[in-house]
């Protein structure tokens, strides 16, 4: 029996990890720390290193032998696939970033046009660079007042050429709104297009009946295990279902992007997470959703505060995401986030208008109630006169694409002052992080509006992936 009160389910990787731990082998191969972390003084500087690596067991030559004769990883992947309704999945150690990269390599190819949600995480761009595909950018519906993305709907795909190779959409969005994947899948399949879903934020949805992207008809899905669920940092899973994307193609794409020395510990944490979800996932997620709903009830009473939910958004929202929209309270989301950080409660993201918090099954009643109280107190302390909304520009970028991301990535380049770059083609990315959605991507025309938006974003968050963190210069295609 487990502490979920249900019979234990199969956990091949976790069991093999435990056996490896018990064996206590001292290998004549990697890892360089030789598993000697448990012996005080065995590793030079073990007090420094020991706590950091004490759970590290390699997959090859650790959890399994060099030939993988136990087949534990394959078994664990098959169990995950069965749980989420996939035909074939691969465990990843490079996060959904790696899943998106591999996914776009699996569905794209040099010169192929792939329709990509322009509010995608920057890892989609990596996939476009590596695959050589040309993006046909599509934009989600934007809430007319809140300025937040509501998801891509079939109408957003109007105008795509019949020769489109595939469609890539993010659902749930960063702020928790969820696109209608079923309708998108119908639309895409009628045209023979595979639908890839970046479900990085929605791993838990796959354990609620009917809510996972595979169940709703997606052909390829990437999901982070470390975000909405409880896996080790950077764990993720990418998978396929149906015949539009071949499992073998996905394997090749994953193998292109992965290490040959995976951590058995990190992989085992994916296996353990799946087993917990199989046993009591639905119950625990529904309980967590009820706790977050209680937070929303409390927060809805705060004058002027908009709590983003199904009714406000007009589309289904992630039951575990807590997104607050602040302009009518006069509170600055980034200032509120800073106060929460000082108190030990870093938030997922913030900008002037909004603040996004990720809750999981781990956040219990007491914590949820305490955070709701704290939010109310801080908002009242920081309250000012209502102000007009200033939606983040990154939800509504409509770029002029001049070169494919791959052409721009490999093009000769020169660095020039940002103020002189208008009209040039960017060779680098400007990506407010979080949420990691590029304001300007390689291959796109630099415009006065984008330069203004980059400057403005720089006053609130780190603008990542550009060579000059002061944002005063930019690399353009020479
Ligand atoms: C929508 C989306 N997709 C993918 C990623 C990348 O996920 P990971 O951090 O697991 O690499 C993120 C990261 O925040 C994201 O927001």
Given this model, what pLDDT does residue 471 score? 96
Residues 408 and 142: their CA atoms lie apart, in Å, by 29
Given this model, what pLDDT does residue 46 score? 76
Nearest residue to 273 via CA among 103, 121, 84: 84
Residues 254 and 348: their CA atoms lie apart, in Å, by 28
Q: Is 173 in the pocket of ligand 1 (CB under 6 A)?
A: no
Given this model, what pLDDT does residue 459 score? 87
Cβ neighbourhood burial of 239 (10 Å; 0-12, 13-18, 19+) = buried
Task: State whether residue 363 is helix, strand or coil.
Answer: coil
Given this model, what pLDDT does residue 177 score? 98
Q: Is 127 in the pocket of ligand 1 (CB under 6 A)?
A: no
Which of 121, 170, 221, 437 for a ligand 1 pocket mutation test, highest count of atoms within 8 Å of Cβ? Answer: 121
What separation in Å is there between the alpha carbon of 96 and the centre of ligand 1? 5
Given this model, what pLDDT does residue 103 score? 98
Please provide residue 21's backbone torsions phi and psi, each rounded to the nearest 5 degrees.
Answer: -60, -45
Which of 103, 175, 227, 228 for a ligand 1 pocket mutation test, highest count of atoms within 8 Å of Cβ? Answer: 227
Q: Are 318 and 174 in contact (CB under 8 A)?
A: no
User: Mind spelling out the 3-state secondary structure of 367-382?
Assistant: HHHHHHHHHHHHHHHH
Q: Is 95 in the pocket of ligand 1 (CB under 6 A)?
A: yes
Residues 461 and 324: their CA atoms lie apart, in Å, by 18
Residues 414 and 117: their CA atoms lie apart, in Å, by 29
What separation in Å is there between the alpha carbon of 384 and the centre of ligand 1? 34
Q: Is 103 in the pocket of ligand 1 (CB under 6 A)?
A: no
Q: Are 420 and 458 in contact (CB under 8 A)?
A: no
- List 137's β-bridge partners, or say none: 116
Per-residue pLDDT of the chain (478 residues; tens, 9 = 90+): 456 665 578 999 999 999 999 998 999 999 998 988 767 777 777 788 888 888 999 999 999 999 999 999 999 999 999 999 999 999 999 999 999 999 999 999 999 999 999 999 999 999 999 999 999 999 999 999 999 999 999 999 999 999 999 999 999 999 999 999 999 999 999 999 999 999 999 999 999 999 999 999 999 999 999 999 999 999 999 999 999 999 999 999 999 999 999 999 999 999 999 999 999 999 999 999 999 999 999 999 999 999 999 999 999 999 999 999 999 999 999 999 999 999 999 999 999 999 999 999 999 999 999 999 999 999 999 999 999 999 988 898 999 999 999 999 999 999 999 999 999 999 999 999 999 999 999 999 999 999 999 999 998 889 999 999 999 999 999 9
Which of 91, 94, 96, 356 for a ligand 1 pocket mutation test, highest count of atoms within 8 Å of Cβ? Answer: 96
Place of tokens 């929303």: 296
Please provide residue 295's backbone torsions phi and psi, each rounded to the nearest 5 degrees.
Answer: -65, -45
Residue 257 CA, distance from chain mean position: 17
Q: Is 97 in the pocket of ligand 1 (CB under 6 A)?
A: yes
Ligand 1 atom with least separation from CA of 226: 10
Q: Which domains does the chain carry?
A: 72-275 (3.40.640.10), 281-382 (3.90.1150.10), 397-477 (3.90.100.10)
What separation in Å is there between the alpha carbon of 49 and the centre of ligand 1? 29
């Amino acid at each position: 029996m487990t502490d979920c009160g249900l019979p234990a389910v199969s956990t091949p990787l976790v069991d093999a990890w435990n056996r490896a731990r018990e064996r206590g082998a001292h290998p004549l191969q990697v890892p360089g720390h030789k598993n000697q972390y448990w012996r005080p003084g065995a590793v030079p500087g073990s007090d420094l290193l020991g706590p950091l690596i004490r759970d590290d067991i390699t997959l090859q030559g650790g959890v399994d032998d060099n030939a993988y004769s136990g087949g534990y990883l394959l078994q664990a992947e098959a169990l995950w696939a069965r749980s989420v309704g996939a035909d074939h999945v691969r465990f990843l150690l490079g996060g959904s970033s790696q899943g998106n990269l591999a996914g776009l390599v699996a569905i794209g190819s040099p010169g192929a046009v792939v329709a990509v949600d322009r509010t995608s995480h920057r890892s989609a761009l990596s996939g476009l660079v590596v695959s050589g595909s040309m993006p046909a950018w599509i934009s989600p519906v934007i809430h007319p007042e809140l300025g937040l993305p509501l998801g891509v709907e079939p109408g957003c795909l109007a105008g795509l050429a019949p020769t489109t190779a595939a469609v890539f959409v993010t659902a749930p969005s960063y702020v928790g709104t969820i696109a209608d994947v079923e309708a998108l899948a119908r639309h895409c399949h009628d045209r023979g297009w595979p639908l890839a879903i970046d479900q990085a934020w929605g791993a838990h949805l796959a354990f609620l009946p009917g809510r996972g992207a595979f169940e709703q008809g997606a052909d390829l899905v990437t999901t982070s295990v470390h975000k909405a669920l409880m896996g080790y940092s950077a764990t993720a899973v990418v998978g396929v279902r149906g015949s539009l994307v071949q499992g073998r193609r996905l394997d090749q794409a994953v193998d292109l992007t992965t290490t040959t020395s995976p951590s058995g510990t990190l992989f085992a944490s994916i296996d353990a997470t799946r087993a917990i979800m199989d046993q009591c996932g639905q119950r625990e997620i529904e309980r967590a959703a009820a706790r977050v709903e209680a937070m929303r009830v409390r927060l809805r009473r705060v004058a002027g505060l908009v709590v983003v939910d199904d009714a406000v958004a007009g589309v289904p929202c992630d039951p575990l995401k807590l997104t607050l929209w602040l302009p009518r309270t006069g509170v600055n989301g980034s200032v509120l986030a800073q106060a929460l950080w000082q108190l030990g409660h870093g938030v997922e993201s913030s900008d002037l208008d909004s603040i996004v918090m990720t809750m999981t099954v781990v956040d219990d009643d007491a914590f949820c109630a305490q955070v709701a109280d704290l939010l109310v107190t801080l908002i009242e302390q920081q309250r000012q006169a209502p102000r007009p909304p200033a939606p983040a520009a990154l939800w509504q970028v409509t770029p002029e694409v001049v070169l494919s991301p791959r052409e721009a990535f490999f093009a000769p380049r020169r660095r020039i002052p940002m103020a002189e770059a208008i009209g040039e083609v960017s060779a680098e990315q400007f990506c407010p992080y979080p949420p990691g959605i590029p304001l300007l991507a390689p291959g796109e025309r630099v415009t006065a509006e984008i330069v203004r938006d980059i400057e403005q974003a720089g006053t609130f968050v780190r603008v990542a992936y550009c060579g000059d963190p002061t944002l005063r210069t930019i690399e353009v295609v020479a």
